[in-house]
């Protein structure tokens, strides 16, 4: 169980770092003497290196072992996060964020791959548990950032994340060496990969990560504005809705293995989940006359089914090519990040035209994901499930 807790913490660190900046752009800008909108470049400086480095480092982990990448990446993440808390200028902050993002590329995908390495029976529960760490980081990080800025300084938040990363890497990760030694990698002999990277079903899965999760998150980012415009709720009330959504997403994460058993495969589970999420998006953004209870019920369905679908799809990807699992899981993470960035920008730009257009964008992107996940005859996972 210790190894899963450590992987949970790795995922938590990545999720927390990625969503930490939202409520503290203004305090950082004031401190570094730049407009808050320029501080938003901290997000880009983090996400682009992550997207680039993740598949590279994931592939290296397939060849040389997971811990050969995870340990130094987490160490660099910790040091770079702490360095961010001491930056004297905006330009220095950009540099430390680039370094943090590059290090993150060797963390989440590798943690997911290690969960997938645990075997066909244990992997779904392990991946669901690690995903819940990512979800918890995303839920808690805005509050962590806001509380740090209010009580101490925005710098404390980055120091806290960096300190946790150093604790994990210096105390916890060395204990994993006996259970995840490089020579235990499946289907690899003397560092040579025996399976291709893009086996049947890979492209569809990566497209689904980008379009399905990207479309869902892009629409979700505007839920607060939608609720304010419909019901004139204050910030505290909207914040409670977001918190409840996060808790229900965790419920979906933890119940994914049971749903997976019923659906038959992670691919099928993701298709079912995305269909329900698309319906929830339509209810949330199209039907103005519905009462708040119906909207909240739709958001609850969105949260739980989305919480099941994401780790379900990751489980499917982990089974596509065991020898290339590290690269595949990293590519999945990069696809998700790029999809979220693109869909969020698209949804935000089209929101002034009306909420119906946001629903149209979300449903369109999710439809692409559902089609991309159609059964592939040569897909080994589907053949195995059919047998």
Domain positions in the chain: 2-188, 202-386
The whole-angstrom separation of Cα 123 and Cα 112 is 9
φ/ψ of 101, rounded to 5, equals -65, -45
**CA torsion through residues 64, 66, 71, 74, sign:** positive
Given phi > 0 = left and psi -120 to 50 = alpha, else beta, which region is 151? alpha
Beta strands in 182-334 (DSSP E): 188-189, 192-193
Cα angle: 91, vertex 94, 99; to 5 degrees: 135
Give me the CATH topology for the region 202-386.
Growth Hormone; Chain: A; (1.20.1250)
The whole-angstrom separation of Cα 45 and Cα 28 is 15
Half-sphere exposure of 89 (CA within 13 A, CB side): 3
Q: What's the count of helices (H) and strands (E) in the chain, helices before strands?
A: 18, 2
In this structure, what DSSP letter does residue 245 have? H
Helix axes 90-104, 25-32, angle to 10 degrees: 130
The whole-angstrom separation of Cα 373 and Cα 32 is 46
The whole-angstrom separation of Cα 373 and Cα 268 is 8
Looking at residue 377, its pLDDT comes to: 57
SS3 label, residue 33 = coil
The whole-angstrom separation of Cα 11 and Cα 16 is 9
Q: Which residues pair with 189 in a beta bridge?
A: 192
Helix axes 292-320, 325-350, angle to 10 degrees: 150
The whole-angstrom separation of Cα 303 and Cα 380 is 30
**CA torsion through residues 281, 282, 286, 291, sign:** negative
Q: Which residues pair with 181 in a beta bridge?
A: none
Per-residue pLDDT of the chain (387 residues; tens, 9 = 90+): 777 888 899 999 988 887 777 667 778 888 888 876 677 777 778 878 888 888 888 888 888 888 888 989 999 999 999 999 899 998 999 999 999 989 998 898 888 888 888 877 888 888 888 888 888 887 777 777 777 777 788 888 889 899 999 998 888 766 665 444 443 444 443 344 556 677 888 899 999 999 998 888 888 878 878 888 888 887 667 777 877 888 899 899 889 999 999 998 899 999 999 999 999 999 999 988 778 899 999 999 999 999 999 889 988 998 888 888 888 888 888 888 788 778 877 887 888 888 899 999 999 999 999 999 988 654 444 444 433
Looking at residue 387, its pLDDT comes to: 37
Residue 281 in contact with residue 359, Cβ under 8 Å? yes
SS3 label, residue 209 = helix
Residue 145 in contact with residue 22, Cβ under 8 Å? yes
Provide Rg for the chain, Cα atoms.
20
Looking at residue 193, its pLDDT comes to: 53
The whole-angstrom separation of Cα 374 and Cα 267 is 8
Give me the CATH topology for the region 2-188.
Growth Hormone; Chain: A; (1.20.1250)
The whole-angstrom separation of Cα 101 and Cα 54 is 9
Kindly report the pTM of this predicted structure: 0.77
φ/ψ of 33, rounded to 5, equals 60, 45
The whole-angstrom separation of Cα 57 and Cα 45 is 18
């Amino acid at each position: 169980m210790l190894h899963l807790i450590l992987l949970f913490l790795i995922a938590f660190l990545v999720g927390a770092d990625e969503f930490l900046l939202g409520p503290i752009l203004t305090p950082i800008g004031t401190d570094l003497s730049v407009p808050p909108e320029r501080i938003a470049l901290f997000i880009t400086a983090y996400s682009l290196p992550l997207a680039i480095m993740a598949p590279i480092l994931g592939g290296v982990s397939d060849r040389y072992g997971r811990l050969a990448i995870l340990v130094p990446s987490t160490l660099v993440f910790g040091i770079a996060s702490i360095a961010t808390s001491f930056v004297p200028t905006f330009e220095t902050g950009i540099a430390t964020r680039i370094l943090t993002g590059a290090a993150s590329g060797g963390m989440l995908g590798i943690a997911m791959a290690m969960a997938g390495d645990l075997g066909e029976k244990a992997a779904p529960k392990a991946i669901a548990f690690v995903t819940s760490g990512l979800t918890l980081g995303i839920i808690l990080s805005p509050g962590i950032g806001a509380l740090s800025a209010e009580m101490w300084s925005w710098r404390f938040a980055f120091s806290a994340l960096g300190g946790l990363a150093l604790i994990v890497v210096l105390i916890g990760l060395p204990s994993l060496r006996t259970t995840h030694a490089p020579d235990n990698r499946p289907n690899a002999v003397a560092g040579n990969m025996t399976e291709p990277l893009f086996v049947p079903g890979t492209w569809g899965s990566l497209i689904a990560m980008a379009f399905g999760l990207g479309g869902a998150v892009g629409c979700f980012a505007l839920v607060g504005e939608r609720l304010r415009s419909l019901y004139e709720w204050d910030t505290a009330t909207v914040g409670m809705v977001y918190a409840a959504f996060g808790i229900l997403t965790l419920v979906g994460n933890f119940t994914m293995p049971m749903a997976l058993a019923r659906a038959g495969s992670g691919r099928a589970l993701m298709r079912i989940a995305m269909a329900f999420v698309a319906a929830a998006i339509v209810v949330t953004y199209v039907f103005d006359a519905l009462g708040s209870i119906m909207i909240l019920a739709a958001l609850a369905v969105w949260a739980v089914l989305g919480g099941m679908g994401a780790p379900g799809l990751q489980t499917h990807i982990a089974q596509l090519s065991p020898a290339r699992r590290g690269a595949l899981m990293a590519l999945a993470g990069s696809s998700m990040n790029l999809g979220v960035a693109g869909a969020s920008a698209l949804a935000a730009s089209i929101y002034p035209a009306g909420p119906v257009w946001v629903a149209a964008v979300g449903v369109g992107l999710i439809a692409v994901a559902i089609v991309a996940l159609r059964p592939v005859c040569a897909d080994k996972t589907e053949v195995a499930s059919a047998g």
